[in-house]
Structure 1
């Protein structure tokens, strides 16, 4: 799996994705990194599939990868996982395809293993059960166990939210007390600034192109990674290209 992930990163180049590449995908706030963490300090990706605004599976997956990379970059040093908070308001069977869901599961499980701490499926409609039946086979048992169904009218299931989040910072849409919501203009500016921050991250210790990407690997993957000196040298050119791309965007 490690070699496959490294090869995928070399080909897909997730660290080179810039805000300008995926800005259209972000317009509705269908995925964004929240301005708060959970009680364990894990960054939170808010997902609202009911706000799907494009028909491009390629663009949708690219934006998801961008958001995952951004969440990882913003993790505390002692943290390796994130939380997915999925709001199903406005969701229909047309909101997301089985193809995109399958690809999402593949990327998460194959290239970001153990990065998901927990996934909260908040108020999924009855019809979602049919969709879940179709996509459940794509999920590994350990991933499936991390997905928690939570309903606002079920006090017992809401305890999951209360145990994980500080309700004072959690969005009211999820039973919290914050009305901050999503502001596209402000978020776009934040992401552009963090693209520059990512370049600085790459520059900070780049004996190989994996100095930044390796942070996207779990601890067990990093321990297993043993790149020889020749491999490092051969990839320095790609690192320079990534730096130049991000530099131009800034």
Structure 2
């Protein structure tokens, strides 16, 4: 039985959800390799939830994403591809998470340093892929902290905003847990009125305006984050008072090595198991070199990453998303 949530969103029983997921798989048809990996049950479920469990609409949305990923190849993006966009810290993944274990992405519009829509979207996609791979287990969503200190209207582009909304809503559905607009000035209000129609109603409900002078806002931030970790700019007491491009570049390059190793391990699996078809590779391919519990796993990841670096930049073409944490069996 399905029940209505807030009068607009259906919540289905687990068996009904599984049935819907299977219907989507049937409609999509046979797929293999990177697309099969992308279309895990968890991934399909997000597209169904984004379309209120309407199979036809979810299939259309998912097919559009598969086409986009084949053309855009977000899984192939590496730090050196987008480093010029990242220099000022206009978007970065924080070194802390919220109390629910959600990855936190910080955005500072006043730090915008380029005018290239293509470059800005490429960097956005890189940040999303990186944030996803750093999600805690069983966590699908992330938090955006948007710092408006020093903001003026020249820092944002309506064209980039529209494209950002398109990419995030259409190709990363149900990834947003919360967006906090911190100390947004009055001058932002007219832009918000123009930009808001580009967002779906369920997305706008996740957008919260927070003000440092408001006790209720401060209480909300304390409920969401450990104040000892939260940056000072957001009312916290964390030691990280600013963005260090050299330190951040090092973090991202380390993540890139792990990703390169993952892609090559998956490619190796399919090369030796062509009969696997649409089956996901076993959980042994899950890559966690920081706490794998196995020296051999870490050594293998290290050697594969080195091989990737020596492979003239040719890496396995495998889609990203929740596939970075492969289940040992279908969910």
Please give the TM-score of this superposition, normalised by the length of structure 2.
0.63
Displacement after TM superposition at 1:245 (Å): 8.0
| Conserved 8 A contact 2:143-2:179 | yes
Contact residue 261 and residue 308 of structure 2 kept, 8 A = no
The unaligned stretches of length 5 or more in structure 2 are: 1-60, 271-275, 281-306, 316-331
In structure 1, the gaps of 5 or more residues are: 209-227, 233-242
Residue 184 of structure 1 pairs with residue 232 of structure 2: no
Q: CA deviation at 1:165?
A: 0.4
Residues 77 and 187 of structure 1, relative CA distance in 2, 3 Å threshold:
same
1:229: which partner in 2?
277
Tell me, in whole angstroms, the C-alpha distance in 1 between the residues paired with 2:193 and 2:103. Answer: 28
Structure 1 residue 61: Cα displacement? 0.8
Q: 2:89 aligns with which of 29, 37, 40?
A: 29
Where does residue 164 of structure 1 map in the other structure?
224
Considering only CA atoms, is the larger Rg found in Structure 1 or Structure 2?
Answer: 2
Give 1:91 shift.
Answer: 1.1
Aligned residues: 222
Q: CA RMSD in A?
A: 2.4
- Measured in 1, the distance between the counterparts of 2:203 and 2:106 equals 18
Q: Are residues 1:199 and 2:247 paired? A: no
1:120 aligns with 2:168: no
Q: CA deviation at 1:10?
A: 0.4
Q: CA deviation at 1:244?
A: 5.7
* Distance across 2 between alignment mates of 1:167 and 1:10: 41
Contact kept? 2:264, 2:308, Cα under 8 Å: no
Which of 197, 209, 233 is the matching residue for 1:149? Answer: 209
| Cα separation, partners in 2 of 1:71 and 1:248, compared to 1, 3 Å | farther
CA 1:204–1:102 in structure 2 vs 1: closer, same or farther (change >3 Å)? same
Q: Distance in 2 between matches of 1:248 and 1:134?
A: 46
Q: Is the 8 A contact 1:82 1:115 kept in 2?
A: yes
CA distance in 2, matches of 1:54, 1:204: 36
